[in-house]
Amino acid sequence: MIKWLVNNFIKEHVDQLVDSRLNEKMFEKYYERRQNEFRQRINEVRQSLHSSSSANQEDKQAKLLPSSGIQTRNQESVLLSKADQTSIKRNADMDSIKAKLMRKNK
């Protein structure tokens, strides 16, 4: 008689508890796996960004474009940017104006 009562009333409840616990475990494993995948993808992206940016900088530093502003010293070519060229020209103009003004004062 006790066996019959346990089988009829408690078995359903125990089955529901087991099913809910299995579902919880499956969800926890799924969530943990997704978190690990996200972490791995984030690390891959970080590494690819880091390596690609350093590669781009190396490429930019290694390239020399033909220009009239190349000055050579000890057989090494140095490329002057347009900003450097304009500042050199501006300084030369300022020096010439300064020299003209100094001549008038004397």
Tens of pLDDT, residue by residue over 5-16, are 778 878 888 889
Question: Domain range spanning residue 19?
Answer: 1-63
Strand bridging mode 76-79 / 70-73: antiparallel
Cβ contact 41:49 at 8 Å: no
User: Is the domain of 9 the same as that of 56?
Assistant: yes
When divided into structural domains, the chain yields a total of 2
pTM, whole model, 2 decimals?
0.38
Q: How confident is the model at residue 87 (pLDDT cuts 50, 70, 90)?
A: confident
Cβ contact 73:59 at 8 Å: no
User: Is the domain of 71 the same as that of 32?
Assistant: no
Phi, psi of 52, rounded to the nearest 5 degrees: -70, -35
In three-state secondary structure terms, 71 is strand
Report whether pLDDT(30) > 80: yes
